[in-house]
Amino acid sequence: MSSYSGLFDILGMRDWCDEDKKPSLLSLGKLKGGEANWYDLNFPSLDNLHEACSKVPQTRDFTAGIEDGFLAIRPALRTVLDPLTQPLSWALDGALWLFTSTPWWALVPLLTLLCVFFTKSWKIGTLVLSFMLTFLFIDHYDHAMQTLAIIVVCTVICVLVGVPLGIAMSKSDRLQRMITPVLDMLQTLPTFVYLIPLIFLFKITEPKLYGLAIILYAIVPVVRLTNLGIRLVDPDVIEAAEAYGLNKRKKLWGVEIPLALPTIMAGVNQTIMMSLAMVVIASLVSAPGLGTLVLDGINNLRLGVGFVAGFAIVLLAILLDRVSKAALDRVNATQSNH
Amino acid sequence: MSKKVKVSVQGLYKIFGDDGASKVDLVKNGMTKADLLDQHGHVLGLQDINVDMKEGEITVIMGLSGSGKSTLIRHLNRLIEPTAGKILLDGEDILSLQGDDLLEMRRTRMSMVFQKFALFPHRTVAENAALALEVGGASKQEQRAEAEKWLARLGLKGFEDSYPNQLSGGMQQRVGIARALCAHSEVMLLDEAFSALDPIIRSQMQDLLLELQKELHKTIIFITHDLDEALKLADHLVILKDGYVIQQGEPQHIILNPSDVYIERFVTDINRARVLRTRSIMKPLAGQDLGVALPVSADDNLESVIEMVNGDTSKSFVVESDGQQLGYFDMHDIVAAMVPQRAEEEWVG
C-alpha cells in the first residue's frame, strides 16, 4: 500500500498511527511495506505518509485548516475592516454615479479641459477628445466611464496612502526592511488570489471588495518609487539644507518632495496602469465597466464583444498613460528648466 | 596677534563606528588608526584637533583626501557630531545647542559653501541665494532685495530668475557664495569651494574671495587640498594628515620651516617665488648702509621683486611697511629662499 509503512514500524509509532484504524488494514500495510521496490518509491509527501499512517494529515487537511482559520477570524476582521473600508464603498459609488450620470456633452469637454490644464498640451487634449468620441461612437462610453471612475478613486487612494508610506520608508531603514517583503508579495501574488480572501470578507455586491483588490495591487509602485525618489535626492543638497538650518518639515516639503517629484510621478503613472489591469480582472467580483464586457465575451463565447471591449481598454490605457506621462514630463521640465 | 578667537576647536576626536565613545581612550593612549580599524572595526576620523580660528582671518585647513578636513569642517556647524572634545563659537560651546537653537545657529551664525555647489535645482538663483533669509521668515521683498544685492556684488546681475543648471560652474559657485553672504553670518565655512572649478576660474574666485574679505572681514574657514590655493588665501594654515594636525601657523613660516617630511614634500612643488613674501626672508636691520637699497613692501612676493629689477643680482632691498623700515635683504637671500629647507635641519628664519 505504501512504501513508508515500514518506516513507522521501525520508529515504533505503529500503535500511535493505528489507534483509529481497523486491524485488517494494518496487516496489509505490513505486508506491502516489507517489499522494497525502489523504482516506485514515492516522495514522502503528506498524502503518501497519510497512506502509511492515518495520523499524518493530508495536504487537503492543510488547505482546509487555512480556510477554517480564516473563517474563524473572519467575524473579528469584518468588525474592524468593515467600518474602516466603508468610505471606499461610498467613494466608489459616488464616483460611479458622477461619471455615469453627468451627461456626455458636459463630461467629455470637462475631462478634455482638465487634461489640457494638467499637461499644458493641446495635443494631449485632442487625443483625449478623440478617444472619448470613439467610446461614444462605439457605444462603450458608459462602460469606459465606469472603469475610469474606479481607476480615479483607486489611484487617488493609492497616492494618499502610498506617498506618505513611501516617505516613511525612505526615512527609516527598519521600516523599509519590514515593508519591502510585503510589497514584493503584493506584486507577485497572482491577481486572482487577491480576490479570494476579499470574497470571504465582504459581500460580493459591495464596491469596496473590488476597490480593495485594486488598491492592494496598484499601490506597490507608488510606494516603491516614492521611497526610491526621496532616497535618491542628492545628499549634497540635503546637506546644504541642513547647513542653512532647515528643519525636518521644511527639508521634506521644500527640498525632498520637489526633487523626488519626477520619480513619484513615474510611480503614479505605474499605479494608474496597474489599476486598469486589475479593474478588468475585478469584473469577476462585480466591478462594473469594460471588464464586464470582456467577461461576457469569455463566459458566452462572444468573440466580437470581448474583442471590442479589449480594444476599448487599450484605448483607455493609452489615454491614461499619455496623460499621466505628459503631466510627469511637465514636472520634469519645471525641475530641469530647459 | 591680538585678534579675538572666533571659533575654537579643543581636543576634538571623531571615531566612526557603532561605539566610538568607548574607543577615545584607546586612541588617547596611542593606538594608531590602522590598529583601531583592525582590532575594533572603528575608523579614526579626527584625533586631538586643537585649532583657534581668529576673527576676521582666513584659516585654511589643508590636507589630502582622507585626511579628515571635510569631517573637521562639518563639526563646526555640527553636521557631524564629535565623539569627544569642545567646539567654541564666541566662547560658547556649540555642542550644548539642541533642536531649534542648533538650527538657528546654522542659519544665522555660520554659513557654508560646498564643493559641488549644492544649490537647489528647483529654485531660481535668487531663491537659492535668499535661502537663509527665507528660513528665518523674512518677507519676500526683503529676500529678493538682499539676494539681488549680493548677486550683483558677485557679478550675477540679470541671472536672478535663472535656474542653477543654466549657469556655468563658476557662476553656480558664485550663487553658493551669495547664499552664504545673504545669511549675514560672521563665520563662513568653505568646503573645497573652488576645487571643482577649472584653474583660471578658480584663481578668479580666489581673488574675488580676498576682495570680499577686505570689505567684509568675515571669519573664514577654508578647506582645500591645493597648497597654492592655501598659501594664497591663508592667514593661518592648518595642515592635516590622517586626522591629526601635523603643523599649523603662519603659511610663510610653514614653507620656510616644514616640520615634517610630509609637509616638505608638499612644499617642494610650489612656486616659492610667488608664495614667499619679502617680510619672510628679510634680515633685521643693524645700522647697515642702505644707500643703494630699493624700497619694497613687506607684502610683496619675491617674484614681483625679481621682476622689478629685471633679475639684476647686484641689487639689495629694504623692506618697508607703513613708512617704517622693517629689514633688508639682497638677491642672494632671494636665491637661497628658492631652495626648500630640509625638515631635519632646525632653521629659524
- At residue B342, the pLDDT reads 63
Tell me the residue type at A64: A
Most confident listed range (A1-10, A36-45, A256-265, B295-304): A256-265
Q: What is the mean pLDDT of chain B?
A: 87
**Residue B221 φ/ψ region, left for φ over 0, alpha for ψ in the -120 to 50 degree band, beta for the rest:** beta
Cα gap A325→B242, rounded to integer Å: 50
pLDDT value, residue A296: 92
pLDDT number for residue A167? 96
**CA count, 13 A, side-chain hemisphere, A8:** 24
Residues 203-242 of chain A whose Cβ lies under 8 A from any Cβ of chain B: 234, 236-237, 239-242
Closest B-chain CA to A249: B135
Name the band, by pLDDT with cuts 50, 70 and 90, for residue B273: confident
The stretch A293-320 carries a mean pLDDT of 93
Answer whether residue B347 shows pLDDT above 70.
no
- Beta strand residue intervals within chain B, DSSP E: 5-16, 43-54, 58-62, 84-89, 92-93, 110-113, 187-191, 219-224, 236-241, 244-249, 283-284, 294-297, 316-321, 324-330
Q: CA-nearest residue of chain B to A258?
A: B122
Contact call for A244 and B166, based on CB within 8 A: no
Distance between CA atoms of residues A296 and A313, nearest Å: 15
Of the candidates B110, B113, B109, B103, the one whose C-alpha atom is nearest the C-alpha of residue B179 is B113
Query: With an 8 Å Cβ cutoff, is A130 touching chain B?
Result: no
pTM for this entry: 0.82
SS3 letters across A178-223: HHHHHHHHHHHCCHHHHHHHHHHHCCCCCHHHHHHHHHHHHHHHHH
**Distance of alpha carbon A247 from its chain centroid, rounded?**
36
ipTM: 0.83
CB contact under 8 A, A245 and B118: no
Residue B149 has pLDDT above 90, yes or no: yes
Assess whether pLDDT exceeds 80 at residue A189: yes
Q: Is it the case that residue A37 has pLDDT exceeding 80?
A: no
Q: How confident is the model at residue A230 (pLDDT cuts 50, 70, 90)?
A: very high
Q: Are the Cβ atoms of A242 and B111 closer than 8 angstroms? A: no
CB contact under 8 A, A335 and B121: yes
pLDDT at residue A98 is higher than 60? yes
- Cβ-nearest to A243 among B79, B108, B117: B79
Dihedral angle of Cα A283, A289, A292, A293, to the nearest 10 degrees: -150
Q: Does A248 touch chain B (CB under 8 A)?
A: no
pLDDT surpassing 80 at residue B219? yes
At B341 the pLDDT is: 65
Query: Is residue A55 within 8 Å of residue A16, measured between CB atoms?
Result: yes
Percent of chain B with pLDDT over 90: 45
B346: left (phi over 0), alpha (psi -120 to 50) or beta: beta
Question: What is the distance in angstroms between the Cα of A243 and the nearest Cα belonging to chain B?
Answer: 6
Which one of B100, B104, B118 has the shortest CB-CB distance to A237? B118
Top-ranked range on mean pLDDT: pick from A42-46, A159-163, B69-73: A159-163
> In A104-173, at which residue ranges do the beta strands (DSSP E only) sit?
none
Q: Cell numbers of A248, please?
A: 525636518
pLDDT per residue as tens digits for the range B34-62: 888 888 888 888 989 999 999 999 999 99
Residues of chain A above pLDDT 70, percent: 92
Does pLDDT of A147 surpass 80? yes
